[in-house]
Structure 1
Amino acid sequence: MSDRLPPLTALRAFDAAARHMSFAKAAAELNVTPAALSFQIKSLEEHLGRPLFRRLNRAVELTEEGRALAPGAQEGFEVLTAAWRAARRLQDNTTLTVTAGPALTAKWLAPRLYDFARAHPEIDLRISTSLRLVDLARDEVDVAIRFGQGSDAGLYSVSARKEWMIPVMTPELANRFPTPESLRDAPLIFDESISFLDPPVDWPTWFRAVGIDFTPQRGAHFSNADHAIDAAVAGVGVVLGRRPMIIKDVIEGRLVMPFKTAVETDARFRFVCLAGAETQPKIAAFRDWFLAEIAKTAHISDGLTIVHVRDIPPK
């Protein structure tokens, strides 16, 4: 039996029909007539010498041979599509697609994009806000800004500065709650977006870092960091703010850091792209700008006592 592959168009027709289990839907996906799709599948079956579908009255089902072929056909077209997209991206020297989380985009990235656009008018920057872990080899994304404690094996990755959290509040609330001890009675805000960190960096952890054994039970809980920060700006309460999320509001005076103890975590923001892609001018330009922007606000750490979470005694 020959291992010569059948025509690609016939395999494409089979893949679509196997995924939809419908010749009509597969034909619509491929923008061909049902008769044309049926002809392609029939030619594939003749090439194999066995039927791939059982034609029923109002449906189709895969034969044993069809079930054997379907996973490989689907995977093969996915790999081929990803490779084609990667090849096309290499030809595009002007469009740069960056994905980042909604909170970082709102609180750090978006306010600075004008400066990047002004410095690099030749680059058409596109921002995709998502917490989904994209596949840089498959998805049409050039750069991902990721946060966490995980690794980026097989990718080019550059870590940002140390990530720490510190209580921030409006100046008015700072006057009402001038000491760490007074925060026992303050309205606290909980940022649940960092609940996955291990060890945790939360209110009980910060209180232990300043020598206070206190586990707050009440307060407003937010699943998004930017919403938690916005609530603090509105005077709702005191939030344990993450460095990049609070920088703009602190520098511009909407929030203050009345206490000087911050808790550092192992987690970092990382600039990530495919290995080798970092040499592309558009990606190198965005990386250099990203790191330079972070360096501009490094002074926010001046005068702080930054305690690593692993150095804080557990409860």
Structure 2
Amino acid sequence: MRRIPPLGALRAFEAGARHLSFTRAATELRVTQAAISHQVRQLEDWLGVSLFERRGHALTLTRKGLEYLRELTPVFERLSEATTRLSEAEQGPLRLTVLPSFASCWLLPRLEGFRALHPGVELHLTSAAELWDFLDDRFDIGIRSGLGRWTGLKAEPLASEGLSPVCSPAVAKKLRSPSDLVKVRLIHDTPKDGWRRWLDAAGVKGVDADKGLTFNDAGLVLQAARQGDGVALGRLLLAADDLKAGRLVQPFPKVLPNDFGYWVAHPRPLSSRKDVVLFKDWLLAEARVTSRAVGLPARE
């Protein structure tokens, strides 16, 4: 006869130990903090050992608790993978949530390549700028800009981003040096301090970095630059296709690194699902090609 504690108590302990927080464990498991605490106490009573040291609101694992966590985590991962494999036969489309600018400027022009490689994978794409809450189970994969810190999601670096002036070839003819930017309209993305930081890094004085056009979408910034409305501080990854086609040019070589990069994120239980793996591998390969084309460092 197997000696197995209540599974709910095991889940509560594993989540609480992994986060070192009953509050975050409760959020992950969609129960109350009191329920997590009660189940952990129940498990400790069942085992006859203390798993946590509690000092006010701070939690640390005892030696026994740490040993138990090391044994339990791979067990839960195997259970998750087995469940995912079992459900693959019944799985529906791969549901994506993607930043609007990334979708329109970069992803959509490349999706036909993925369809040609994997015609059996059906994609449903939603364009959204909001941060993806891991409790929102409408999606399987999200592509977002940030630092990759999303609780409950496995986030992998997709591409770095750099900021550099871009404009139409006609506007570029007016620019012999960065100081000539005083003659043209500056087009801003948000946050609006990008131009100021680029001008400071390039040592340019006398250009009012606050004047010009401001858009809250990087795709609209590039569209305005293509139309000849001024010089945009463009995100080079998103501008890659326009630069290659000659619709935009980069009049000055100075690139301002952006702390925020692009990330592909998904719930950890989906790590081994076939369509998730296929799409993610294709996405990473395409991003590496684009990054090399515009001189951005590859994300590892």
Tell me if both proteins adopt one fold, taking TM over 0.5 as the criterion: yes
Corresponding position: 1:208 with 2:200: yes
What is the 5 A alignment of 1:208-287? Answer: 208-213=200-205, 214-287=207-280
Distance 1:181 1:292 in 2: 38
Q: Distance in 2 between matches of 1:92 and 1:166?
A: 46
Matches within 5 A, 1:39-78: none
Are 2:131 and 1:133 aligned?
yes
Q: Which moved more, 1:138-147 or 1:231-240?
A: 138-147
Match of 1:108 in 2: 106
Q: In angstroms, what is the RMSD of aligned CA positions?
A: 2.4
Who is 2:187 aligned against?
189
User: How far off its partner does 1:224 sit?
Assistant: 1.3
Counterparts in 2 of 1:138 and 1:90: CA distance versus 1, 3 Å: farther
Opposite residue 170 of structure 1, the aligned amino acid is S
Report the Cα distance in structure 1 between the residues aligned to 2:256 and 2:90, rounded to whole angstroms: 42
Change (3 A) 1:119 1:94: farther
| Aligned-partner Cα distance in 1 for 2:247–2:269 | 42
Question: Which residues of 2 match residues 174-185 of structure 1 at below 5 A?
Answer: 174-185=172-183
1:65-103 alpha-carbon deviations (Å, 9 max, x no partner): xxxxxxxxxx77xxxxxxxxx989755445101101111
Counterpart CA distance in 2 for 1:150 and 1:116 is: 24
| Whole-Å separation in 2 of the counterparts to 1:158 and 1:149 | 10
Q: What is the aligned partner in structure 1 of residue 24 from structure 2? A: none
Question: How far off its partner does 1:216 sit?
Answer: 2.3
| 4+ aligned runs moved over 4 Å, structure 1 | 86-91
Once the two structures are superposed, the pairs formed by residues 140-179 of structure 1 within 5 Å of their partners are: 140-149=138-147, 151-179=149-177
Give 1:243 shift. 1.9
Q: Deviations over 1:116-171 (max 9, x none)?
A: 11111111111010112233443220000011135123321111232110000011
Amino acid at match of 2:268: A
Q: Are 1:298 and 2:291 counterparts?
A: yes
Which 5+ residue runs of structure 2 have no aligned equivalent?
1-29, 32-82
Length-normalised TM-score, structure 1 = 0.63
Q: 1-side partners of 2:280 and 2:181: how far apart?
A: 39
| TM-score of the two chains, using structure 2 as the length reference | 0.66
Letter in 1 for 2:249: V
Alpha-carbon distance in 2 for matches of 1:143, 1:230: 27
Which has the higher Rg, Structure 1 or Structure 2?
1
Partner of 2:62: none
Hey, what's the Cα distance between the residues in 1 that align with 2:93 and 2:178? 48
> Residues 18-97 of structure 1 correspond to what in structure 2 (within 5 A)?
92-93=90-91, 95-97=93-95
- Do 2:175 and 2:251's aligned partners in 1 also have CA atoms closer than 8 Å? no
